[in-house]
Amino acid sequence: MLTPHLVTDTVQRALAEDAPWGDLTGELVIPAAATVRTVLTAREDGIFAGGPLIVAAFRQVDPEISVTDLVTEGTPFRAGDVLARIAGPARGVLTGERVALNFAQRMSGVATLTAQFVAVVAHTRARIADTRKTTPGLRALEKHAVRAGGGSNHRFSLSDAVMIKDNHLAALGAVDAATTTAALAGLRDRAGHTTSIIVEVDRVDQIAPVLAARPTGILLDNFSLADLRTGVELIAGQAIVEASGGVTLDTVAGIAETGVDVISVGLLTHGARARPGS
In the chain, alpha helices (H) = 4-18, 24-29, 51-61, 90-120, 139-148, 166-171, 177-184, 187-191, 207-211, 225-235, 252-256, 267-270
Same domain, 131 and 13: no
- What share of the chain has pLDDT > 90, as a percent? 81
Residue 259 inside a domain? The answer is: yes
How far is the C-alpha of 86 from the C-alpha of 67, rounded, in Å? 5
Q: What is the pLDDT of residues 101-140, one digit of tens each?
A: 999 999 999 999 999 999 999 999 999 999 999 999 999 9
Q: What is the pLDDT of residues 2-34, one digit of tens each?
A: 899 999 999 999 999 999 999 999 999 999 999
Same domain, 20 and 88: yes
Residue 277 inside a domain? The answer is: no
Same domain, 151 and 98: no
What average pLDDT score do residues 175-199 get?
80
Look at residues 114, 138, 155 and tell me which one is the last residue of a structural domain: 114
Same domain, 18 and 47: yes
Same domain, 145 and 99: no
Same domain, 106 and 132: no
- At position 77, the amino acid (one-letter code) is F
98 carries an active-site annotation: yes
How far is the C-alpha of 124 from the C-alpha of 120, rounded, in Å? 9
Residue 140 inside a domain? The answer is: yes
221 carries an active-site annotation: yes
Give me the pLDDT at residue 190, please: 85
Same domain, 124 and 255: yes
How far is the C-alpha of 120 from the C-alpha of 131, rounded, in Å? 19
What CATH number did the domain enclosing 13 receive?
Answer: 3.90.1170.20
Same domain, 96 and 131: no
Q: What is the pLDDT of residues 32-45, one digit of tens each?
A: 999 999 999 999 99
**pLDDT above 60 (res 278):** no
How far is the C-alpha of 274 from the C-alpha of 112, rounded, in Å? 9
Look at residues 77, 99, 114 and tell me which one is the last residue of a structural domain: 114
Same domain, 63 and 21: yes
* Annotated catalytic residue, options 97, 200, 242, 261: 200
**pLDDT above 80 (res 62):** yes
Domain that holds residue 24: 4-114
* Annotated catalytic residue, options 133, 139, 188, 229: 133
**pLDDT above 80 (res 275):** no
How far is the C-alpha of 74 from the C-alpha of 90, rounded, in Å? 29
Contact residues for 74 (Cβ-Cβ < 8 A; gap 6+): 47, 48, 49, 111, 147, 148, 149, 150
- What share of the chain has pLDDT > 70, as a percent? 99
Same domain, 106 and 160: no
* Annotated catalytic residue, options 18, 166, 202, 221: 221
165 carries an active-site annotation: yes
In 121-198, alpha helices (H) = 139-148, 166-171, 177-184, 187-191
Helices (H) and strands (E) in the chain, counts: 12, 11
Look at residues 114, 140, 174 and tell me which one is the last residue of a structural domain: 114
242 carries an active-site annotation: no
Residue 278 inside a domain? The answer is: no
Residue 276 inside a domain? The answer is: no
**pLDDT above 80 (res 78):** yes
* Annotated catalytic residue, options 132, 165, 188, 229: 165
* Annotated catalytic residue, options 18, 62, 98, 227: 98
Residue 155 inside a domain? The answer is: yes
Same domain, 131 and 253: yes
Task: Give the chain's mean pLDDT.
Answer: 93
**Dihedral sign from CA coordinates of 27, 8, 104, 109:** positive
Confidence tier at 187 by pLDDT (50, 70, 90): confident
pTM: 0.93
**pLDDT above 90 (res 99):** yes
Let me know: does 117 contact 268? Beta carbons within 8 Å.
Answer: yes
